[in-house]
């Protein structure tokens, strides 16, 4: 057997919009995500590929309405649907993502926001006290604070989804019509900083798309596979793995489930 024959067939993409649009076209009504928010209850929320794209367009429209087009948005929180929705929305709208470790202490989180020059932050409800303190200090460039869960003080993902949906009904298509620049910087990742202060790593959308293609070549995925999101999304391997699962298919057009457990505890 030739070496090249050991590789799987895969479709090559240039950006994440192509990945998502391709999956929605192939199996719009199949489940992309199965979400369990309480580990003690056998209750699940099902998100189809079509619904995922609708949420992306609604959230992206709301982001643009807030003036975040072309800006930098930090994302800090536990693995959950709101995290991957925000991240994918940024990639599909030419917004730069800054994934941050949910376990950072307040000072480290504040410094990361300063160093990355983030314009907005999407954060876990558990971090609300940190966020309030950072906002009061006024040391960052943050203009918009968005909570992944419910909040009486801050904007929320749910409220922005509703806002974006209404704007789209009125004909707002700026987000959906945005031209994607495949080779521009789209992600700023911080290393673990084991030897000194963490380093900022810049990635383009094509970098992520090529990773997806390469993983599909060497990883055989079956129709019965369920991916459980255990690796932290702020790590490139965790978030890219989720996108790879969303992109994966065989030529019988089977669906892929991504099962996300939003744990009650802070660390996975």
> For the segment 38-70, what is each residue's pLDDT rounded down to a tens digit?
777 788 888 999 999 999 999 999 999 999 999
Let me know if residue 230 belongs to a domain.
yes
* Full domain range(s) for residue 58: 20-31+44-256
- 146: CATH: 3.40.50.12780
Q: Residue 261 falls within a domain, yes or no? A: no
pLDDT (tens digit per residue) in 2-42: 444 555 677 888 999 999 998 899 888 888 888 877 777 78
With beta carbons less than 8 A apart as the criterion, state whether 127 and 28 touch: no
Identify the weakest region by mean pLDDT among 87-96, 221-230, 258-267: 258-267
Q: Determine the pLDDT at residue 232.
A: 84
Place 130 in a pLDDT band, splitting at 50, 70 and 90. very high
Q: Which residue has the tokens 């090529």?
A: 210
- State the total domains in the chain: 1
Going by C-alpha positions, the residue among 69, 143, 157 that lies closest to residue 113 is 143
CB environment 209-241: b (16+ within 10 A), e (fewer): bebbbebbeeeebeeeeebebebbbbebebbbb
- If pLDDT is split at 50, 70 and 90, which confidence band does 241 have? confident
Residue 179 has pLDDT above 60, yes or no: yes
- Domain assignment present for 100: yes
244 domain-assigned: yes
**What is the C-alpha separation between 187 and 203, in angstroms, rounded?**
5
Residues 178, 95: Cα–Cα separation, whole Å: 10
In a domain, 208, yes or no: yes
Average pLDDT along the chain? 85
In a domain, 69, yes or no: yes
Calpha distance 99→263 (Å, rounded):
19
Residue 13 domain-assigned (yes or no): no
61 within a domain of the structure (yes/no): yes
pLDDT at 263 over 80: no
Q: Would you say residue 151 has pLDDT above 80?
A: yes
User: What does the alpha-carbon distance between residue 131 and residue 110 come to, in Å, rounded to a whole number?
Assistant: 9
């Amino acid at each position: 057997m030739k070496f090249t024959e050991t590789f799987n067939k895969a479709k090559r993409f240039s950006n994440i919009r192509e990945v998502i649009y391709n999956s929605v076209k192939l199996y719009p009504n199949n489940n992309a995500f199965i979400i369990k928010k309480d580990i003690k209850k056998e209750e699940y929320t099902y998100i189809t590929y079509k619904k995922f794209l609708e949420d992306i367009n609604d959230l992206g429209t709301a982001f643009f309405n807030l003036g975040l087009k072309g800006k930098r948005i930090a994302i800090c929180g536990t693995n959950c649907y709101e995290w991957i929705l925000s991240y994918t929305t940024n990639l599909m709208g030419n917004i730069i993502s800054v994934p941050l470790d949910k376990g950072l202490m307040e000072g480290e989180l504040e410094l990361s926001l300063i160093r990355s020059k983030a314009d907005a932050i999407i954060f876990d409800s558990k971090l609300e006290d940190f966020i309030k303190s950072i906002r009061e200090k006024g040391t960052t460039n943050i203009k918009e604070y968005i909570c992944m869960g419910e909040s009486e003080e801050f904007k929320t993902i749910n409220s922005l989804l509703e806002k974006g949906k209404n704007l789209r009904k009125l004909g707002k298509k700026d987000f959906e019509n945005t031209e994607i620049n495949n080779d521009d910087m789209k992600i700023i990742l911080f290393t673990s900083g084991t030897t000194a202060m963490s380093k900022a790593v810049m990635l383009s959308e094509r970098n992520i798309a090529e990773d997806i293609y390469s993983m599909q070549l060497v990883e055989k995925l079956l129709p019965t596979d369920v991916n459980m999101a255990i690796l932290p999304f702020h790590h490139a391997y965790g978030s890219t793995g989720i996108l790879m699962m969303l992109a994966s298919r065989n030529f019988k057009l089977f669906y892929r489930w991504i099962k996300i457990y939003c744990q009650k505890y802070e660390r996975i």
